[in-house]
Amino acid sequence: MTKLSTLCLTIGSGLLLGALTAAAAELDASKLPPASTKTGLTFANDIKPIFDKSCVKCHSGEKPKAKLTLDTLEGVLKGGKDNGKTDVVPGHADQSKLLFAAAHVGDEDDFMPPPKNKANIGPLTPEQVGIIRAWIDQGAK
């Protein structure tokens, strides 16, 4: 291996490690509201009403923002164009980017609903985020 190849490999590894560290720092589950203690949560009964009130105005229809539809369980589990299947990781709320966005934890550019939005939709309450967190941990069904 040449010195240049070794240098490139070292730099590349360092950049990758830095990117992974930054991504892990963004998903700090200790900053999330606690999961609800309610059991048997379902999309239809518990999550859809929250999403209908705060999310589907932008995340439904023929042209949903970020290609993320939140009006059906299938759409939620499919994820959007940026995060895909990491938007909701059933059984792992601490790895679900949608939860962090809804809780306004991490990168402010990812907060949902955005702090300044045309529809004047406010952020989800800690209780709503706790229900979503528990639903994901319970398998997102």
pLDDT tens by residue, 53-66: 999 999 999 999 99
Q: Same domain, yes or no, for 10 and 48?
A: no
Q: Same domain, yes or no, for 37 and 20?
A: no
pLDDT category of residue 3 using cuts at 50, 70 and 90: low
Residues composing the chain: 141
Has this prediction a pTM greater than 0.85?
no
Structure tokens of 111?
């907060």
Q: Do the Cβ atoms of 10 and 104 come closer than 8 Å?
A: no
Q: How confident is the model at residue 27, as a pLDDT? A: 82
Q: Same domain, yes or no, for 99 and 36?
A: yes
Q: How confident is the model at residue 85, as a pLDDT? A: 87
pLDDT category of residue 107 using cuts at 50, 70 and 90: very high
Q: Do the Cβ atoms of 84 and 100 come closer than 8 Å?
A: no
For residue 116, the enclosing domain spans: 32-137
Spatial CA neighbour of 50 closest among 138, 107, 123: 123
Give the end-to-end CA distance of the chain in Å, rounded to a whole number: 51
How many folded domains does the chain comprise? 2
Q: Same domain, yes or no, for 25 and 36?
A: no
Q: How confident is the model at residue 84, as a pLDDT? A: 83
Q: Same domain, yes or no, for 114 and 93?
A: yes
The single-letter code of the amino acid at 101 is: A
Q: How confident is the model at residue 6, as a pLDDT? A: 45
